[in-house]
Amino acid sequence: MLPPPRPSEQIPTGERHPQDPDEAPSSKATAVLALGIVGVLLMFCGGGLIPGLAGLLMVRSARTEIAAAAGFLTGGRALRAGEILSWIAVAVSAVVIVAVVIGLLIGSVGNGPQYDENVN
74-107, pLDDT tens digit by residue? Answer: 999 999 999 999 999 999 999 999 999 999 998 8
Cβ atoms within 10 Å of 42's Cβ, excluding its own? 18
Spell out the residues 6+ positions from residue 2 whose beta carbon is closer than 8 angstroms to its own. none
What's the CA gap between 52 and 46, in Å, rounded?
A: 11
The band of 21, judged by pLDDT with boundaries at 50, 70 and 90, is confident
50-64, pLDDT tens digit by residue? Answer: 999 999 999 999 999
Q: At residue 93, what is the residue type?
A: S
